[in-house]
Amino acid sequence: MIDLILISLVVVTLIILFLFWYAKYTAKSGFSKDENQNDIPDSWEKRFGILFKLKNLIILILGILIGFLLNNSSLFSS
C-alpha cells in the first residue's frame, strides 16, 4: 500500500513541478504576458495565485513525504 502511495505522490509531484516549469517557460519566452516580471503569467496568477505563493512550502512538504515513504517502502529494500 505504501508503494502505491509513493508512486502516486511522485507522479503528482512531477505534474506540479512541470506546472511550475511551464509557467516560467511561457513567461520567459513571451508566449503569455508577464507585466510584473515575476515569471508567472498574469492569466495564471488569477487562477492559481495561491499555488505560486505557497510554491516553496508545497515542494518542501512533497519532498518530506516522498522521503518518508521511501524510507518505509519495500521498492528499494535489499
Gap between the terminal Cα atoms of the chain: 18
Between 31 and 22, name the one with better pLDDT: 22
Mean pLDDT of 11-39: 85
Domain ranges of the chain: 17-72
54-61: long-range contacts at Cβ-Cβ below 8 A with a sequence spacing of 24 or more? Answer: 55/20, 58/16, 59/16, 59/17
pLDDT band of 77, cuts 50, 70, 90: low
| The predicted structure's pLDDT at residue 44 | 79
Say which residue the cell 520567459 belongs to.
28
Helix, strand, coil content of the chain in percent (nearest 5): 75, 0, 25
